[in-house]
């Protein structure tokens, strides 16, 4: 349902934001708006949107810089808006990780159609984002973790940490690597945040599956996700 889809619109032109908001509201999407690049990064962290409409010419951080930072930590679809028609600007945006672009002035109906198409591709890709192990299922698209047929309630960062470790099972990560990949390169805080989140995950997962230690500590190095039995979806 469209009402479950959250779209972030970032443009310093209030009239553009209002226009896009009007059309997307008619489609039933949830809309969040931002007016500069720094706010865009903050809203991605706090709101976890399903798609971003991102203007290139933004204050504080331009759209290219925002897109580059997003791709260091997220694969959320990005449609870039540009008032420039030069081939270079479009190529640069795509090279930095944008999924599509629309040149101003744009037809709102065309923008909505591009959004629908991009969300369909994302939905199809999300069907593959399910990991199944012995007594444990992690569903990325639904943001669900099921242990022995019981759904767990995990805060966003605990889920992101579990997903990252599970998708790289068997690989050992230092705390610094996990901070960069899960919390982002701009994270300011104690490196032991990783330890705290691993401890919480263990208390919710490992105690329910006797004899299986999914989250393993490699002393002097870091952590890894390991399994004995597994089946892939």
Q: Which two tokens stand for residue 58?
A: 């933004």
Using alpha carbons, list the distances in angstroms from residue 141 to 103, 108, 170, 180.
30, 28, 23, 22
What's the CA gap between 185 and 171, in Å, rounded?
20
- DSSP states along 62-130: -HHHHHHHHHTT----EEEEES---HHHHHHHHHTT-SEEEESS--HHHHHHHHHHHHHHHHHHHTT-E
Please tell me the predicted confidence (pLDDT) of residue 32. 95
Instruction: Identify the segments of the chain with pLDDT beneath 50.
Output: 230-233
* Spatial CA neighbour of 154 closest among 29, 103, 1, 162: 162
What's the CA gap between 134 and 36, in Å, rounded?
45
CB 58 within 8 A of CB 66: yes
Please tell me the predicted confidence (pLDDT) of residue 231. 42
Sheet (strand 173-174) strand order: 173-174, 222-225, 215-218
Helix H or strand E segment including 199: helix 193-204
**What pTM value is reported for the model?**
0.58
Please tell me the predicted confidence (pLDDT) of residue 18. 96
Full set of structural domains in the chain with CATH? 6-124 (3.40.50.2300), 130-229 (1.10.10.10)
The end-to-end CA distance of the chain, in Å, is 24
């Amino acid at each position: 349902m469209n009402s479950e889809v959250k779209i972030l619109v970032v443009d310093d032109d209030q009239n553009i934001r209002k226009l896009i908001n009007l059309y997307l509201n008619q489609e039933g999407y949830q809309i969040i708006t931002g007016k500069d690049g720094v706010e865009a990064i903050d809203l991605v962290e706090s709101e976890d949107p399903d798609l971003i409409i991102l203007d290139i010419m933004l204050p504080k951080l331009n759209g290219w810089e925002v897109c580059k930072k997003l791709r260091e930590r997220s694969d959320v679809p990005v449609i870039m808006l540009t008032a420039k028609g030069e081939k270079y600007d479009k190529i640069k945006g795509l090279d930095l990780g944008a999924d599509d672009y629309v040149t101003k002035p744009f037809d709102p109906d065309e923008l909505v159609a591009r959004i629908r198409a991009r969300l369909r591709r994302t939905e199809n890709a999300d069907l593959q984002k399910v990991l199944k192990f012995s007594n444990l299922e992690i569903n990325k698209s639904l943001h669900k973790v099921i242990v022995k047929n019981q759904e767990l309630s995990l805060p966003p960062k605990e889920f992101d940490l579990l997903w990252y470790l599970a998708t790289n099972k068997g690989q050992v990560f230092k705390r610094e690597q996990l901070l960069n990949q899960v919390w982002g390169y701009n994270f300011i805080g104690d490196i032991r945040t990783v330890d705290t989140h691993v401890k919480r995950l263990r208390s919710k997962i490992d105690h329910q599956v006797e004899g299986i230690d999914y989250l393993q500590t490699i002393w002097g190095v870091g952590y890894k996700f390991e399994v004995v039995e597994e089946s892939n979806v």
